[in-house]
Structure 1
Protein backbone atom coordinates (compact mmCIF):
# COMPACT_ATOMS: atom_id res chain seq x y z
CA UNK A 1 0.00 0.00 0.00
CA UNK A 2 1.36 3.37 -1.01
CA UNK A 3 1.31 5.97 1.74
CA UNK A 4 2.04 9.64 1.38
CA UNK A 5 2.88 11.77 4.36
CA UNK A 6 1.83 15.37 4.77
CA UNK A 7 5.47 16.47 4.50
CA UNK A 8 5.87 14.71 1.16
CA UNK A 9 2.61 16.15 -0.14
CA UNK A 10 3.68 19.63 0.94
CA UNK A 11 7.04 19.20 -0.82
CA UNK A 12 5.35 18.08 -4.04
CA UNK A 13 2.93 20.97 -3.94
CA UNK A 14 5.75 23.44 -3.31
CA UNK A 15 7.69 22.01 -6.25
CA UNK A 16 4.88 22.92 -8.68
CA UNK A 17 2.89 25.74 -7.07
CA UNK A 18 5.70 28.28 -6.70
CA UNK A 19 7.03 27.95 -10.28
CA UNK A 20 3.45 27.87 -11.58
CA UNK A 21 2.66 31.19 -9.90
CA UNK A 22 5.73 32.88 -11.41
CA UNK A 23 5.02 31.49 -14.88
CA UNK A 24 1.34 32.45 -14.75
CA UNK A 25 2.19 35.99 -13.61
CA UNK A 26 4.66 36.34 -16.47
CA UNK A 27 2.19 35.09 -19.09
CA UNK A 28 -0.56 37.33 -17.71
CA UNK A 29 1.59 40.47 -18.04
CA UNK A 30 3.73 39.59 -21.06
CA UNK A 31 3.06 41.04 -24.50
CA UNK A 32 0.98 39.06 -27.03
CA UNK A 33 0.10 36.21 -24.64
CA UNK A 34 -1.00 38.66 -21.98
CA UNK A 35 -3.50 40.41 -24.22
CA UNK A 36 -7.15 40.40 -23.29
CA UNK A 37 -8.06 38.54 -26.46
CA UNK A 38 -6.22 35.44 -25.20
CA UNK A 39 -8.66 33.42 -23.03
CA UNK A 40 -7.74 32.87 -19.41
CA UNK A 41 -8.02 29.09 -19.76
CA UNK A 42 -5.30 29.16 -22.43
CA UNK A 43 -2.99 31.17 -20.17
CA UNK A 44 -3.61 28.82 -17.25
CA UNK A 45 -3.23 25.70 -19.41
CA UNK A 46 0.01 26.95 -20.96
CA UNK A 47 1.30 27.86 -17.50
CA UNK A 48 0.54 24.33 -16.23
CA UNK A 49 2.28 22.81 -19.25
CA UNK A 50 5.38 24.97 -18.78
CA UNK A 51 5.40 24.19 -15.06
CA UNK A 52 5.33 20.45 -15.74
CA UNK A 53 8.32 20.88 -18.06
CA UNK A 54 10.33 23.36 -15.98
CA UNK A 55 9.69 22.32 -12.37
CA UNK A 56 11.54 18.95 -12.46
CA UNK A 57 14.64 20.65 -13.87
CA UNK A 58 15.03 23.15 -11.03
CA UNK A 59 18.32 22.67 -9.21
CA UNK A 60 17.15 24.44 -6.05
CA UNK A 61 14.02 22.82 -4.66
CA UNK A 62 11.76 24.96 -2.44
CA UNK A 63 11.43 23.71 1.13
CA UNK A 64 8.59 26.00 2.20
CA UNK A 65 5.07 24.85 2.99
CA UNK A 66 2.71 26.61 0.55
CA UNK A 67 -0.06 26.64 3.18
CA UNK A 68 2.07 28.49 5.75
CA UNK A 69 2.46 32.22 6.25
CA UNK A 70 5.99 32.01 4.85
CA UNK A 71 4.64 30.13 1.84
CA UNK A 72 2.12 32.91 1.21
CA UNK A 73 5.00 35.41 1.27
CA UNK A 74 6.93 33.31 -1.25
CA UNK A 75 3.87 33.17 -3.53
CA UNK A 76 3.65 36.97 -3.49
CA UNK A 77 7.37 37.08 -4.24
CA UNK A 78 6.92 34.78 -7.24
CA UNK A 79 4.03 36.90 -8.53
CA UNK A 80 6.21 40.01 -8.37
CA UNK A 81 9.07 38.20 -10.15
CA UNK A 82 6.77 37.04 -12.97
CA UNK A 83 5.19 40.47 -13.29
CA UNK A 84 8.66 42.03 -13.47
CA UNK A 85 9.57 39.83 -16.44
CA UNK A 86 6.34 40.51 -18.29
CA UNK A 87 6.39 44.21 -17.44
CA UNK A 88 9.92 44.62 -18.77
CA UNK A 89 8.99 43.06 -22.11
CA UNK A 90 5.70 44.95 -22.37
CA UNK A 91 7.56 48.26 -22.11
CA UNK A 92 8.95 47.58 -25.60
CA UNK A 93 5.50 47.78 -27.16
CA UNK A 94 4.56 50.72 -24.98
CA UNK A 95 7.54 52.62 -26.38
CA UNK A 96 6.50 51.68 -29.93
CA UNK A 97 2.95 52.92 -29.38
CA UNK A 98 4.22 56.10 -27.76
CA UNK A 99 6.43 56.73 -30.81
CA UNK A 100 3.37 56.24 -33.01
CA UNK A 101 1.42 58.73 -30.88
CA UNK A 102 4.16 61.33 -31.28
CA UNK A 103 4.40 60.77 -35.03
CA UNK A 104 0.63 60.90 -35.48
CA UNK A 105 0.31 64.17 -33.58
CA UNK A 106 3.16 65.75 -35.53
CA UNK A 107 1.59 64.67 -38.82
CA UNK A 108 -1.78 66.07 -37.84
CA UNK A 109 -3.40 62.65 -37.49
CA UNK A 110 -4.27 63.05 -33.86
CA UNK A 111 -7.94 62.79 -34.78
CA UNK A 112 -7.48 59.58 -36.81
CA UNK A 113 -7.89 56.99 -34.06
CA UNK A 114 -8.90 53.35 -33.88
CA UNK A 115 -10.13 51.26 -31.00
CA UNK A 116 -7.35 49.10 -29.59
CA UNK A 117 -8.90 45.96 -28.06
CA UNK A 118 -5.56 45.03 -26.52
CA UNK A 119 -5.58 48.00 -24.17
CA UNK A 120 -9.32 48.78 -24.39
CA UNK A 121 -8.64 52.35 -25.50
CA UNK A 122 -8.37 54.48 -28.62
CA UNK A 123 -4.97 54.96 -30.24
CA UNK A 124 -3.87 56.91 -33.33
CA UNK A 125 -3.66 55.00 -36.58
CA UNK A 126 0.14 55.39 -36.76
CA UNK A 127 0.52 53.91 -33.27
CA UNK A 128 -1.70 50.99 -34.27
CA UNK A 129 0.38 50.40 -37.40
CA UNK A 130 3.69 50.49 -35.52
CA UNK A 131 2.26 48.25 -32.80
CA UNK A 132 1.31 45.60 -35.35
CA UNK A 133 4.73 45.96 -36.97
CA UNK A 134 6.41 45.51 -33.58
CA UNK A 135 4.45 42.30 -32.94
CA UNK A 136 5.49 40.88 -36.31
CA UNK A 137 9.14 41.78 -35.71
CA UNK A 138 8.97 40.34 -32.19
CA UNK A 139 7.68 37.01 -33.49
CA UNK A 140 10.03 36.94 -36.49
CA UNK A 141 13.13 37.15 -34.26
CA UNK A 142 11.68 34.54 -31.87
CA UNK A 143 11.17 37.10 -29.14
CA UNK A 144 8.58 34.88 -27.46
CA UNK A 145 11.13 32.06 -27.22
CA UNK A 146 13.75 34.44 -25.88
CA UNK A 147 11.24 35.57 -23.27
CA UNK A 148 10.63 31.97 -22.20
CA UNK A 149 14.37 31.41 -22.05
CA UNK A 150 14.72 34.44 -19.77
CA UNK A 151 11.95 32.99 -17.59
CA UNK A 152 13.72 29.65 -17.29
CA UNK A 153 17.05 31.35 -16.52
CA UNK A 154 15.33 33.40 -13.81
CA UNK A 155 14.87 30.25 -11.72
CA UNK A 156 18.65 29.88 -11.66
CA UNK A 157 19.40 33.54 -10.96
CA UNK A 158 16.53 33.95 -8.51
CA UNK A 159 15.50 30.53 -7.15
CA UNK A 160 12.33 29.98 -5.18
CA UNK A 161 13.17 30.91 -1.61
CA UNK A 162 12.01 33.10 1.23
CA UNK A 163 14.49 35.97 0.93
CA UNK A 164 13.30 39.56 0.81
CA UNK A 165 13.34 41.57 -2.40
CA UNK A 166 16.26 43.85 -3.10
CA UNK A 167 15.61 47.58 -3.29
CA UNK A 168 18.38 47.86 -5.91
CA UNK A 169 16.56 45.36 -8.13
CA UNK A 170 13.31 47.28 -7.84
CA UNK A 171 15.14 50.53 -8.61
CA UNK A 172 16.67 48.92 -11.71
CA UNK A 173 13.22 47.83 -12.85
CA UNK A 174 11.78 51.31 -12.32
CA UNK A 175 14.72 52.87 -14.15
CA UNK A 176 14.01 50.64 -17.13
CA UNK A 177 10.50 52.05 -17.10
CA UNK A 178 11.99 55.43 -17.92
CA UNK A 179 13.39 53.94 -21.11
CA UNK A 180 9.92 54.27 -22.65
CA UNK A 181 10.58 57.92 -23.41
CA UNK A 182 14.12 57.49 -24.73
CA UNK A 183 13.19 54.51 -26.92
CA UNK A 184 10.07 56.26 -28.22
CA UNK A 185 12.12 59.33 -29.05
CA UNK A 186 14.71 57.25 -30.91
CA UNK A 187 12.02 55.52 -32.95
CA UNK A 188 10.17 58.72 -33.83
CA UNK A 189 13.16 61.07 -34.24
CA UNK A 190 13.59 60.62 -38.04
CA UNK A 191 9.95 61.51 -38.69
CA UNK A 192 9.98 64.34 -36.15
CA UNK A 193 13.11 65.85 -37.70
CA UNK A 194 11.67 65.62 -41.19
CA UNK A 195 8.36 67.19 -40.15
CA UNK A 196 10.21 69.93 -38.28
CA UNK A 197 12.01 70.92 -41.47
CA UNK A 198 8.74 70.76 -43.42
CA UNK A 199 6.92 72.94 -40.88
CA UNK A 200 9.84 75.39 -40.86
CA UNK A 201 9.66 75.64 -44.63
CA UNK A 202 5.90 76.18 -44.46
CA UNK A 203 6.40 78.89 -41.84
CA UNK A 204 8.90 80.71 -44.05
CA UNK A 205 6.53 80.34 -47.00
CA UNK A 206 3.68 81.81 -44.96
CA UNK A 207 5.76 84.82 -43.95
CA UNK A 208 6.85 85.47 -47.50
CA UNK A 209 3.35 85.01 -48.95
CA UNK A 210 0.75 85.98 -46.30
CA UNK A 211 -2.12 85.59 -48.76
CA UNK A 212 -1.38 81.85 -49.02
CA UNK A 213 -3.95 79.66 -47.24
CA UNK A 214 -1.60 77.63 -45.07
CA UNK A 215 -4.40 75.38 -43.75
CA UNK A 216 -5.34 74.25 -47.25
CA UNK A 217 -1.76 73.79 -48.42
CA UNK A 218 0.16 72.83 -45.28
CA UNK A 219 -1.93 69.87 -44.14
CA UNK A 220 -1.56 67.77 -47.35
CA UNK A 221 2.13 68.60 -47.48
CA UNK A 222 2.62 67.58 -43.84
CA UNK A 223 0.79 64.30 -44.41
CA UNK A 224 2.76 63.52 -47.56
CA UNK A 225 6.11 64.31 -45.96
CA UNK A 226 5.16 62.37 -42.81
CA UNK A 227 4.13 59.22 -44.64
CA UNK A 228 7.25 59.41 -46.80
CA UNK A 229 9.43 59.75 -43.69
CA UNK A 230 7.69 56.77 -42.05
CA UNK A 231 8.17 54.69 -45.20
CA UNK A 232 11.87 55.55 -45.45
CA UNK A 233 12.49 54.93 -41.74
CA UNK A 234 10.88 51.47 -41.63
CA UNK A 235 14.09 49.57 -42.58
CA UNK A 236 15.89 51.23 -39.67
CA UNK A 237 13.19 50.41 -37.12
CA UNK A 238 13.89 46.67 -37.26
CA UNK A 239 17.50 46.74 -35.95
CA UNK A 240 16.60 49.37 -33.37
CA UNK A 241 13.72 47.25 -32.12
CA UNK A 242 16.00 44.21 -31.94
CA UNK A 243 18.43 46.19 -29.79
CA UNK A 244 15.59 47.24 -27.48
CA UNK A 245 14.41 43.62 -27.13
CA UNK A 246 17.90 42.39 -26.25
CA UNK A 247 18.30 45.29 -23.80
CA UNK A 248 15.04 44.20 -22.16
CA UNK A 249 16.29 40.63 -21.84
CA UNK A 250 19.55 41.87 -20.29
CA UNK A 251 17.54 43.98 -17.86
CA UNK A 252 15.49 40.94 -16.84
CA UNK A 253 18.64 38.93 -16.23
CA UNK A 254 20.20 41.75 -14.22
CA UNK A 255 17.08 42.24 -12.09
CA UNK A 256 16.82 38.53 -11.33
CA UNK A 257 20.48 38.38 -10.37
CA UNK A 258 19.99 41.28 -7.98
CA UNK A 259 16.94 39.59 -6.50
CA UNK A 260 18.95 36.39 -6.07
CA UNK A 261 21.66 38.24 -4.16
CA UNK A 262 19.19 39.84 -1.74
Structure 2
Protein backbone atom coordinates (compact mmCIF):
# COMPACT_ATOMS: atom_id res chain seq x y z
CA UNK A 1 0.00 0.00 0.00
CA UNK A 2 1.61 3.34 -1.06
CA UNK A 3 0.70 7.02 -0.87
CA UNK A 4 0.70 9.10 -4.08
CA UNK A 5 1.36 12.84 -4.51
CA UNK A 6 -2.24 13.69 -3.66
CA UNK A 7 -1.96 11.70 -0.43
CA UNK A 8 -4.72 9.36 -1.60
CA UNK A 9 -4.48 5.73 -0.66
CA UNK A 10 -4.29 3.24 -3.50
CA UNK A 11 -4.29 -0.52 -3.14
CA UNK A 12 -2.50 -2.67 -5.67
CA UNK A 13 -4.69 -5.68 -6.33
CA UNK A 14 -2.98 -7.14 -9.35
CA UNK A 15 0.40 -6.72 -10.99
CA UNK A 16 1.62 -8.10 -14.28
CA UNK A 17 5.35 -8.88 -14.12
CA UNK A 18 5.79 -9.38 -17.87
CA UNK A 19 4.52 -6.01 -19.00
CA UNK A 20 5.25 -4.08 -15.83
CA UNK A 21 1.70 -2.74 -15.71
CA UNK A 22 -0.19 -2.44 -12.44
CA UNK A 23 -3.94 -2.38 -11.90
CA UNK A 24 -4.96 -0.24 -8.92
CA UNK A 25 -8.25 0.13 -7.10
CA UNK A 26 -9.13 3.78 -6.60
CA UNK A 27 -9.07 4.98 -3.02
CA UNK A 28 -12.49 6.63 -3.38
CA UNK A 29 -14.07 3.23 -4.05
CA UNK A 30 -12.23 1.65 -1.13
CA UNK A 31 -13.36 4.35 1.27
CA UNK A 32 -16.94 4.08 -0.01
CA UNK A 33 -16.81 0.31 0.42
CA UNK A 34 -15.52 0.63 3.98
CA UNK A 35 -18.03 3.36 4.88
CA UNK A 36 -21.07 1.46 3.59
CA UNK A 37 -19.89 -1.76 5.21
CA UNK A 38 -19.49 -0.06 8.61
CA UNK A 39 -22.86 1.69 8.33
CA UNK A 40 -24.66 -1.48 7.30
CA UNK A 41 -22.92 -3.58 9.97
CA UNK A 42 -23.89 -1.15 12.73
CA UNK A 43 -27.50 -1.13 11.55
CA UNK A 44 -27.63 -4.94 11.36
CA UNK A 45 -26.05 -5.18 14.82
CA UNK A 46 -29.12 -3.66 16.53
CA UNK A 47 -31.83 -4.22 13.92
CA UNK A 48 -34.50 -6.74 15.01
CA UNK A 49 -34.74 -7.91 11.39
CA UNK A 50 -31.51 -9.84 11.96
CA UNK A 51 -31.06 -10.06 15.74
CA UNK A 52 -34.48 -11.23 16.93
CA UNK A 53 -35.06 -13.65 14.05
CA UNK A 54 -31.95 -15.73 14.73
CA UNK A 55 -30.11 -15.01 11.48
CA UNK A 56 -26.62 -16.61 11.60
CA UNK A 57 -23.61 -14.33 11.92
CA UNK A 58 -22.14 -15.46 8.60
CA UNK A 59 -25.34 -14.50 6.80
CA UNK A 60 -25.25 -11.04 8.40
CA UNK A 61 -21.63 -10.53 7.33
CA UNK A 62 -22.32 -11.64 3.76
CA UNK A 63 -25.38 -9.39 3.63
CA UNK A 64 -23.39 -6.36 4.78
CA UNK A 65 -20.57 -7.11 2.35
CA UNK A 66 -22.95 -7.65 -0.57
CA UNK A 67 -24.86 -4.45 0.11
CA UNK A 68 -21.60 -2.53 0.43
CA UNK A 69 -20.36 -3.88 -2.90
CA UNK A 70 -23.66 -2.98 -4.57
CA UNK A 71 -23.82 0.60 -3.26
CA UNK A 72 -20.15 1.58 -3.25
CA UNK A 73 -19.76 2.35 -7.00
CA UNK A 74 -22.52 4.97 -6.83
CA UNK A 75 -21.03 6.58 -3.70
CA UNK A 76 -17.36 6.59 -4.68
CA UNK A 77 -17.31 10.31 -5.45
CA UNK A 78 -19.58 11.47 -2.62
CA UNK A 79 -17.49 10.39 0.38
CA UNK A 80 -14.33 12.45 0.99
CA UNK A 81 -11.14 10.40 1.11
CA UNK A 82 -9.40 10.74 4.51
CA UNK A 83 -5.79 11.92 4.39
CA UNK A 84 -4.66 10.72 7.80
CA UNK A 85 -5.57 8.31 10.56
CA UNK A 86 -7.62 10.87 12.50
CA UNK A 87 -9.91 11.55 9.52
CA UNK A 88 -10.27 7.82 8.90
CA UNK A 89 -11.29 7.14 12.51
CA UNK A 90 -13.71 10.08 12.42
CA UNK A 91 -15.29 8.73 9.23
CA UNK A 92 -15.63 5.26 10.75
CA UNK A 93 -17.21 6.66 13.92
CA UNK A 94 -19.76 8.66 11.91
CA UNK A 95 -20.70 5.61 9.85
CA UNK A 96 -21.16 3.44 12.93
CA UNK A 97 -23.24 6.13 14.68
CA UNK A 98 -25.48 6.61 11.64
CA UNK A 99 -26.02 2.86 11.31
CA UNK A 100 -26.88 2.50 15.00
CA UNK A 101 -29.47 5.28 14.71
CA UNK A 102 -31.11 3.59 11.71
CA UNK A 103 -31.16 0.25 13.51
CA UNK A 104 -32.65 1.87 16.59
CA UNK A 105 -35.46 3.37 14.49
CA UNK A 106 -36.29 -0.08 13.12
CA UNK A 107 -36.15 -1.39 16.68
CA UNK A 108 -38.77 1.16 17.72
CA UNK A 109 -41.15 0.03 14.95
CA UNK A 110 -40.97 -3.55 16.19
CA UNK A 111 -40.96 -2.42 19.81
CA UNK A 112 -44.41 -0.89 19.40
CA UNK A 113 -45.83 -4.27 18.37
CA UNK A 114 -43.94 -6.15 21.10
CA UNK A 115 -45.03 -3.78 23.87
CA UNK A 116 -48.64 -4.07 22.71
CA UNK A 117 -48.35 -7.88 22.71
CA UNK A 118 -46.84 -7.99 26.20
CA UNK A 119 -49.59 -5.74 27.52
CA UNK A 120 -52.26 -7.95 25.92
CA UNK A 121 -50.70 -11.03 27.54
CA UNK A 122 -51.45 -9.53 30.93
CA UNK A 123 -54.89 -8.32 29.87
CA UNK A 124 -56.34 -11.61 28.62
CA UNK A 125 -54.55 -13.95 31.04
CA UNK A 126 -51.70 -15.31 28.90
CA UNK A 127 -49.04 -13.82 31.13
CA UNK A 128 -48.69 -17.19 32.88
CA UNK A 129 -47.11 -18.58 29.71
CA UNK A 130 -44.06 -16.42 30.29
CA UNK A 131 -43.45 -18.32 33.52
CA UNK A 132 -44.18 -21.82 32.21
CA UNK A 133 -41.87 -21.75 29.14
CA UNK A 134 -39.09 -24.26 29.89
CA UNK A 135 -37.41 -23.83 26.48
CA UNK A 136 -36.63 -20.16 27.12
CA UNK A 137 -33.90 -18.98 29.47
CA UNK A 138 -35.69 -15.64 29.82
CA UNK A 139 -39.41 -14.99 30.35
CA UNK A 140 -41.10 -15.05 26.99
CA UNK A 141 -44.34 -13.41 25.93
CA UNK A 142 -46.62 -15.34 23.60
CA UNK A 143 -48.43 -12.40 22.04
CA UNK A 144 -45.30 -10.25 21.96
CA UNK A 145 -43.56 -12.79 19.70
CA UNK A 146 -46.72 -13.21 17.65
CA UNK A 147 -47.08 -9.46 17.16
CA UNK A 148 -43.37 -9.12 16.42
CA UNK A 149 -43.37 -11.59 13.53
CA UNK A 150 -46.57 -10.12 12.11
CA UNK A 151 -45.06 -6.65 12.34
CA UNK A 152 -41.90 -7.96 10.65
CA UNK A 153 -43.91 -9.31 7.71
CA UNK A 154 -45.86 -6.05 7.47
CA UNK A 155 -42.61 -4.07 7.63
CA UNK A 156 -41.22 -5.96 4.65
CA UNK A 157 -44.50 -5.88 2.70
CA UNK A 158 -44.74 -2.10 3.17
CA UNK A 159 -41.19 -1.68 1.78
CA UNK A 160 -39.69 -0.68 5.09
CA UNK A 161 -36.36 -2.19 4.01
CA UNK A 162 -36.38 0.10 0.96
CA UNK A 163 -36.86 3.05 3.31
CA UNK A 164 -33.74 2.02 5.22
CA UNK A 165 -31.63 1.80 2.05
CA UNK A 166 -32.92 5.19 0.88
CA UNK A 167 -32.06 6.68 4.28
CA UNK A 168 -28.57 5.19 4.07
CA UNK A 169 -27.98 6.76 0.65
CA UNK A 170 -29.49 10.10 1.68
CA UNK A 171 -27.12 10.19 4.64
CA UNK A 172 -24.21 10.60 2.21
CA UNK A 173 -25.75 13.57 0.41
CA UNK A 174 -26.31 15.48 3.64
CA UNK A 175 -24.45 15.49 6.94
CA UNK A 176 -27.05 15.12 9.72
CA UNK A 177 -26.28 15.80 13.35
CA UNK A 178 -25.31 12.49 14.97
CA UNK A 179 -24.52 13.40 18.57
CA UNK A 180 -26.21 16.75 19.15
CA UNK A 181 -29.68 17.92 20.06
CA UNK A 182 -31.12 17.07 16.63
CA UNK A 183 -30.41 13.35 16.90
CA UNK A 184 -31.56 13.22 20.54
CA UNK A 185 -34.81 15.01 19.72
CA UNK A 186 -35.48 12.61 16.85
CA UNK A 187 -34.94 9.54 19.03
CA UNK A 188 -37.10 10.87 21.86
CA UNK A 189 -39.86 11.80 19.41
CA UNK A 190 -39.65 8.31 17.96
CA UNK A 191 -40.08 6.74 21.39
CA UNK A 192 -43.10 8.95 22.05
CA UNK A 193 -44.74 8.06 18.73
CA UNK A 194 -44.10 4.35 19.20
CA UNK A 195 -45.60 4.43 22.71
CA UNK A 196 -48.79 5.97 21.35
CA UNK A 197 -48.93 3.44 18.50
CA UNK A 198 -48.45 0.56 20.97
CA UNK A 199 -51.43 1.82 22.98
CA UNK A 200 -53.52 2.09 19.82
CA UNK A 201 -52.67 -1.49 18.85
CA UNK A 202 -53.55 -2.86 22.29
CA UNK A 203 -56.63 -0.69 22.90
CA UNK A 204 -59.38 -2.85 21.24
CA UNK A 205 -58.46 -6.06 23.07
CA UNK A 206 -57.86 -4.16 26.31
CA UNK A 207 -61.34 -2.65 26.10
CA UNK A 208 -62.87 -6.11 25.65
CA UNK A 209 -60.85 -7.38 28.60
CA UNK A 210 -62.12 -4.59 30.83
CA UNK A 211 -65.73 -5.31 29.83
CA UNK A 212 -65.25 -9.02 30.58
CA UNK A 213 -63.72 -8.22 33.98
CA UNK A 214 -66.62 -5.94 34.83
CA UNK A 215 -69.15 -8.57 33.71
CA UNK A 216 -67.62 -11.34 35.79
CA UNK A 217 -67.36 -8.96 38.74
CA UNK A 218 -71.10 -8.32 38.57
CA UNK A 219 -71.77 -12.06 38.20
CA UNK A 220 -69.71 -12.84 41.29
CA UNK A 221 -71.87 -10.43 43.29
CA UNK A 222 -75.12 -11.78 41.87
CA UNK A 223 -74.24 -15.49 42.02
CA UNK A 224 -71.60 -16.10 44.71
CA UNK A 225 -71.68 -19.89 44.10
CA UNK A 226 -69.91 -19.51 40.72
CA UNK A 227 -66.16 -20.08 40.79
CA UNK A 228 -65.20 -16.82 39.13
CA UNK A 229 -61.48 -17.60 39.21
CA UNK A 230 -61.82 -20.66 36.96
CA UNK A 231 -64.74 -19.54 34.80
CA UNK A 232 -63.49 -15.98 34.52
CA UNK A 233 -59.98 -16.94 33.46
CA UNK A 234 -61.07 -19.35 30.73
CA UNK A 235 -63.85 -17.07 29.49
CA UNK A 236 -61.61 -14.03 29.49
CA UNK A 237 -58.94 -15.90 27.57
CA UNK A 238 -61.42 -17.17 24.96
CA UNK A 239 -63.03 -13.78 24.41
CA UNK A 240 -59.61 -12.14 24.36
CA UNK A 241 -58.38 -14.43 21.58
CA UNK A 242 -61.54 -13.74 19.56
CA UNK A 243 -61.07 -10.00 20.05
CA UNK A 244 -57.40 -10.35 19.13
CA UNK A 245 -58.24 -12.05 15.83
CA UNK A 246 -60.80 -9.35 15.02
CA UNK A 247 -58.38 -6.55 15.87
CA UNK A 248 -55.47 -7.72 13.71
CA UNK A 249 -56.07 -4.91 11.16
CA UNK A 250 -55.09 -2.44 13.87
CA UNK A 251 -51.60 -3.94 13.81
CA UNK A 252 -51.30 -3.24 10.08
CA UNK A 253 -52.46 0.32 10.67
CA UNK A 254 -50.00 0.69 13.54
CA UNK A 255 -47.01 -0.56 11.52
CA UNK A 256 -47.98 1.73 8.64
CA UNK A 257 -48.16 4.71 11.01
CA UNK A 258 -44.84 3.70 12.52
CA UNK A 259 -43.16 3.75 9.11
CA UNK A 260 -44.72 7.11 8.32
CA UNK A 261 -43.45 8.47 11.63
CA UNK A 262 -39.95 7.11 10.98
CA UNK A 263 -39.95 8.63 7.50
CA UNK A 264 -41.04 12.04 8.76
CA UNK A 265 -38.46 11.94 11.57
CA UNK A 266 -35.69 11.05 9.13
CA UNK A 267 -36.68 13.87 6.79
CA UNK A 268 -36.75 16.40 9.61
CA UNK A 269 -33.42 15.12 10.95
CA UNK A 270 -31.68 15.25 7.57
CA UNK A 271 -33.36 18.45 6.45
CA UNK A 272 -34.88 16.87 3.33
TM-score scaled by structure 2?
0.81
Aligned 8 A contact 1:104 1:125 in 2: yes
Stretches of structure 2 that go unaligned for 5 or more consecutive residues are: 11-26
Residue 184 of structure 1: aligned partner: 198
Q: Closer, same or farther in 2 for the Cα pair 1:250/1:116, shift >3 Å?
A: farther
> Is 2:38 the counterpart of 1:21?
yes
Paired position in structure 1 for 2:82? 64
8 Å CA contact 1:28, 1:34 repeated in 2? yes
Distance 1:235 1:164 in 2: 36
Contact 2:125 2:236 in 1 (8 A): yes
Name the count of aligned residue pairs: 250
C-alpha distance in 1, partners of 2:156/2:35? 28
Question: What is the CA–CA distance in structure 1 between the aligned matches of 2:71 and 2:170, rounded to whole Å?
Answer: 10
Aligned to 1:41: 58
- Within the candidate set 126, 129, 134, 2:151 is matched to 134
SS at match of 2:78: coil
Unaligned 5+ segments in structure 1 are: none
Measured in 1, the distance between the counterparts of 2:201 and 2:53 equals 26
Pick 1 or 2: higher relative contact order, CA cutoff 8 A, min separation 6.
1
1:208–1:174 distance in 2 versus 1, CA, 3 Å: same
Contact map agreement 2:118 2:141 (CA 8 A) in 1: yes
- Relative to 1, partners in 2 of residues 1:257 and 1:25: Cα closer, same or farther, differing over 3 Å? farther
Task: Give the number of the structure whose residues are more often helix, by fraction.
Answer: 1
* Distance (whole Å) between structure 2 residues aligned to residue 70 and residue 124 of structure 1: 46
Mapping of 1:187-206 within 5 angstroms? 187-206=201-220
- Please say if residues 31 and 81 of structure 2, whose CA atoms lie closer than 8 Å, have aligned partners that are also in contact: yes
Decide which structure has the larger Cα Rg and report it: 2
Assess, with a 3 A threshold, how the Cα gap between structure 1 residues 204 and 190 changes in structure 2: closer, same or farther.
same
Question: Is the CA contact 1:195–1:222 (under 8 Å) kept in the aligned structure 2?
Answer: yes
Residue equivalent to 1:214: 228
1:147 match = 164
1:116: Cα distance to partner? 9.1
SS of structure 1 residue aligned to 2:139? strand
Residue 36 of structure 1: CA displacement? 6.6
Task: Provide the residue aligned with 1:104 in structure 2.
Answer: 121
Q: Where does residue 90 of structure 2 map in the other structure?
A: 73
Sort the Cα spacing of 1:36 and 1:62 in 2 relative to 1 into closer, same or farther, 3 A: farther
Tell me the distance in 2 between the aligned counterparts of 1:202 and 1:236.
27
Counterparts in 2 of 1:121 and 1:32: CA distance versus 1, 3 Å: farther
Deviations 1:39-67 (A, max 9, x none): 223222222222222223235331323x5
174, 183, 187: which one aligns with 1:169 = 183
CA drift of 1:211 comes to 2.7
SS of the residue corresponding to residue 60 of structure 1 reads coil
Q: Distance in 2 between matches of 1:95 and 1:29?
A: 16
| Separation in 1, partners of 2:135, 2:58 | 22
Q: Which residue of structure 2 lines up, in the alignment, with residue 123 of structure 1?
A: 140
Query: Using the alignment, how far apart are the partners of 1:116 and 1:177 within structure 2?
Result: 31
